[in-house]
Amino acid sequence: MKVKELLLNKNFTLLTKNSDTEIQINDVYICDLLSWVMSHAGNQCAWITVQTHTNIVAVAVLLDMACIIIPEGIGVEESTLKKASEENLPILSTNLSTYEIASIIYESNKNVTK
């Protein structure tokens, strides 16, 4: 599914400006250890993390991620959103848990060939 399709779900809010929401989400990656994410996350994944500091933007941009999703209603620093907006990287916020987020993307992607 595309990031913009995920945003049709009322549980998700786009926090960034100038975001590229046409990008396809191929995969979901869930981890908060940045070195681990760096070596394991795939291209065009939706990355679910509780980290909200500015450095997550560098990780997502370097790996060509589709978007970052911050779960469980956690707030995000303005500096992080500013940096992500400069890179056209979508950061989404939701009250849902990581399991619920991954399930929604899985359900939407399971019948689609990448």
- Minimum distance of another protein from residue 45's CB (angstroms): 13
How far is it, in rounded angstroms, from Cα 91 to Cα 84?
A: 7
Q: Is the CB of 36 or the CB of 106 nearer to another protein?
A: 36
- Minimum distance of another protein from residue 34's CB (angstroms): 4
How far is it, in rounded angstroms, from Cα 100 to Cα 84?
A: 24
Q: Which two tokens stand for residue 8?
A: 């049709």
How far is it, in rounded angstroms, from Cα 112 to Cα 10?
A: 22
Q: Does residue 17 interact with another protein by CB under 8 A?
A: no
Residues that bind another protein (CB under 8 A): 32-39, 43, 49, 51, 53-59, 61-64, 79, 83, 87
